[in-house]
Structure 1
Amino acid sequence: MPVLATARSRAGATLLGLVTAATVGAAAPAAAEPVTTDSVLVWYDATAAAITAGGATTQVTNNRTWAIAWLAAARAQNTTHSPLGRRAALAGAVHQTLATLIPGQQAAADATLAAELAALPDRKPVRDGVAAGRAAAQRLIAERTGDGLDPASVNTPFTVPAAAPGVWQPTPPAYAPAAQYGNRVARPFVLRSAAQFRPAAPPALGTERYETDLAEVKAYGSATSTVRTQAQTDTATFWLGSSLTLYTPILRAAVAQSPASIADRTRLVALFHVAAVDTQIATSDAKYAYQRWRPVTAIQAGGDTAWLPLHATPAHPDYPSGHNTYSGSAEGVLTGLTGPHARQPYTIGSPTAPGVTRTYTDWHQPSVENVDARVFSGIHTRNADLAGIRLGSDVARYVLRQAPALLR
């Protein structure tokens, strides 16, 4: 599968060091960081909990909150060489962001901040670090105001075109209005434009590739499929949930296993979510540029009017697959900054498969499963999935190239 360039994988383990050097400059090596509390995980879990409890209804808006909080922290950490100062800068930036963007969760953020500060000495580097973090968050929140990533802007109404072969139409059972149409004109963090990495057009109707892909979905993605195995059904169900929800524990595993500094791991979280935001903007650009119909529409139009997918089709066009653009972006950042393999096996669950867990040893296998899952669910063609992986990977690669400037 064309997920990541081999050369990029080989270079992955060194990229974070290059980003760090370019950002911090000639900073002297810091003393060993406090190990009594892993502050990066403390604030990671606090961010995840705040978004779960009080986040937006749109996924990209929640990725934006992550990106602002952790990018502000990374920038604030540049102002100090003190490990205590960097820990305090992380606390100040993430707390300020959560209190501002998810005010209903301020009490929980306040409690996390109080516990963190109680564990730190009352010294000038700590006080200065908290202040730097707060200031960086306030500046970045101001910079991102009006970026088009609020839920109302993301879901700007879309006028459905007249029905025609290949053209997207609302899908059963809900026939819901198109979602994420406004996302295509939101302001990226790094991309020059939403169309910068727009994939080539999907296969034309009637071509061999088009017919092969559609036949695969028809056979394996049907609600009443007789060829889909139980293992394939399980894969489809496991990966059906929100990409943000599914990838939050994957990123956490990378952060928890990393031996890198507080500053380096802060940058990892920041760049992951910056890339996720820009990827989703690029995804909507491509989806609404091509407006390719979903498999259920194509199959029913071809005469099998009773055909339905295993899982309900999301309310936006087929090409490219949003789950797979997210997966390609996630794999790209994780591979680029930590290498292709996890240091230890990690296990995740799924909100759409309660009680079920899966264990992985690298960042690539989730992408493989995401590609298959959308076909087995009956909601995407394989070509749309693979184009999604490529698009997310392209965005991730570009974000990492631009990271030194972004993190200043």
Structure 2
Amino acid sequence: MKTKFLLLTLFMVLLGFTYACKEESLLDEPEGFKQYSNQVILDWNLAAFEAMGGASYEHSLLAARINAMVHIAMHDALNAIASRYQTYALTEKNKDADPIAAAVSAAYEVLVASFPAQKAMLDGRLAESLAQVAEGKPKTDGIALGKKAAQVILTQRQNDGALADPIGPIEPSTVPGVYQAVPPFNFVFAPQWKTMQPFGLQKPEQFRMEAFPALSSAAYTTAFNEVKTIGQKNSSTRSAEQTGIAKFWYEFSEIGWNRVTRTVAKDRKLGLLNSARLFALVNIALVDAYTAGWDAKFHHNFWRPYTAIRSAENDGNPNTTADAQWEPSEVTPPVQDFPSTHSALGNAAASVLAGVLGDKVTFTMSSPTGIAPFQSRTFTSFSQAANENAESRVLAGIHFRFSCEKGQELGNKIGKWVLENTLKANN
């Protein structure tokens, strides 16, 4: 049952080793940057989270987009001073600009443009960050450079359609396998995202996977019966720890994997530029995983376990049995099942992290959706965390296992592509 998860782990271990070998020599900061910590990168990653509304925000795809813009702007501003990596959008250079002033000004300008109602909070954060920089031309140049880095990425994304109404209608259907709304929602979320302009990929459908298993197949039967049993609300076969895992990873993926990135960047004491690049790569991979996932979800338009289990008498499979009262352990998100984008985001981020730092990195983190005694969990590798992240969706009763496996495969491809084609080291 879990053979594919083990193969995915092995793939990520090999991926992490290959890229970590390439990246290891780059983790030293450039001359002129070694005196700085990465604290402002961590601070403004959290400032972005706060500006979005914290744990209460609801538009996860838009949040991932803004996170990518913030960290691209910070990276480009810093890289304009050190010029170690390829730039994403900003072409201007100024080796005399102050790095702290440049980085925080870039983040501030993206966030205040995106959330003008949060200006007072962001003004305070900016003042705190800039207070540590001595007055003078380097500070002035740094502020100007950060503003330019922000404006370039804001201009690039201003007409991408991300701000369209995310509530979409669902066409009723009685065809087995076709997606239908799952209570408490009566809509499909953010249909415009299926054609969103990617940040790193060439096009949304670049890695679109083949179709889900046929409803009459043994693979579908196995996945159906598994999620029906272990993913059911108050399941008698799901252990207390498995319930804890389902809840631990239930928060939006971009929230959890930015927390992972903050944790390891701090634990590993990464420098300013390398932290900026790492956050930019992770967030590019995360937002593109949403886009590629939405493309595939809307293309395949596959039903969720809730609908499949309640309507099994019509699926043409004699080995599946309907349960008209079945409910999942956790609330089902209002979008199609195949593939699991939660799994895609986890593997996309984990592939980038493993590529830069190596896979075998031990870290501990907590989750606001976790329950006692499982609010905090320790992992010995990024691939282990990504596998548990994907597993959680089956345990929660909201995805078939084959959707999680395909999501993980998609995430691995996205992470690898981003590493090979974005913010590469200058020769």
Distance (Å, rounded) in 2 between the aligned partners of 1:263 and 1:59: 27
Once the two structures are superposed, the pairs formed by residues 267-306 of structure 1 within 5 Å of their partners are 267-302=277-312, 303-306=322-325
Alignment match, 2:347: 328
One-letter code aligned to 1:132: L
* Higher mean C-alpha deviation, range 101-110 or range 190-199: 101-110
**Number of residues paired by the alignment?**
397
Q: CA deviation at 1:175?
A: 4.6
Alignment match, 2:254: 244
2:160 is the counterpart of 1:147: yes
TM-score by length of 2: 0.86
2:146 is the counterpart of 1:133: yes
Aligned-pair identity in percent equals 28
- 2:36 and 2:272 in contact (8 A); partners too: no
Once the two structures are superposed, the pairs formed by residues 314-325 of structure 1 within 5 Å of their partners are 314-325=333-344
Q: CA deviation at 1:346?
A: 2.1
Distance (Å, rounded) in 1 between the aligned partners of 2:360 and 2:186: 40
Distance (Å, rounded) in 2 between the aligned partners of 1:243 and 1:324: 8
Q: CA deviation at 1:43?
A: 2.2
Distance (Å, rounded) in 1 between the aligned partners of 2:27 and 2:150: 20
Alignment match, 2:383: 364
Q: Which runs of 5+ in 2 are unaligned?
A: 83-94, 313-321
2:405 is the counterpart of 1:386: yes
Distance 1:74 1:59, change over 3 A: same
- 2:36 and 2:271 in contact (8 A); partners too: no
One-letter code aligned to 2:177: G
- CA RMSD between the two structures: 2.6
Q: CA deviation at 1:280?
A: 0.2
Alignment match, 2:181: 170
- 1:31 and 1:83 in contact (8 A); partners too: no
- 2:12 and 2:383 in contact (8 A); partners too: no
Q: Could you give the per-residue CA deviations for residues 46-84 of structure 1, whole angstroms, max 9, x where no partner exists?
A: 223222359963111111111111101211222224697
- 1:89 and 1:133 in contact (8 A); partners too: yes
Q: CA deviation at 1:320?
A: 0.5
One-letter code aligned to 1:317: Q
Partner SS, residue 248 of structure 1: helix
Distance 1:78 1:373, change over 3 A: closer
- 1:190 and 1:278 in contact (8 A); partners too: yes
Instruction: Name which of 13, 27, 34 aligns with 2:20.
Output: 13
Alignment match, 2:319: none
Alignment match, 2:77: 76
Alignment match, 1:399: 418
Partner SS, residue 81 of structure 2: coil
Q: Could you give the per-residue CA deviations for residues 138-167 of structure 1, whole angstroms, max 9, x where no partner exists?
A: 111011011122252xx2624425221111
2:225 is the counterpart of 1:207: no
Partner SS, residue 128 of structure 1: helix
Instruction: Name which of 340, 356, 369 aligns with 1:351.
Output: 369
Partner SS, residue 377 of structure 2: strand
Q: CA deviation at 1:354?
A: 7.3
Q: Could you give the per-residue CA deviations for residues 340-380 of structure 1, whole angstroms, max 9, x where no partner exists?
A: 133x5322223353782222232222222222211111111
2:323 is the counterpart of 1:310: no
Distance (Å, rounded) in 1 between the aligned partners of 2:425 and 2:287: 14
Alignment match, 1:217: 227
Partner SS, residue 216 of structure 2: coil
- 2:346 and 2:390 in contact (8 A); partners too: no
Partner SS, residue 347 of structure 1: strand
- 1:19 and 1:403 in contact (8 A); partners too: no
Distance (Å, rounded) in 1 between the aligned partners of 2:311 and 2:337: 15
- 2:181 and 2:188 in contact (8 A); partners too: yes
Distance 1:125 1:246, change over 3 A: same
Instruction: Name which of 179, 183, 192 aligns with 1:182.
Output: 192
Distance 1:332 1:78, change over 3 A: same
* Higher mean C-alpha deviation, range 291-300 or range 112-121: 112-121
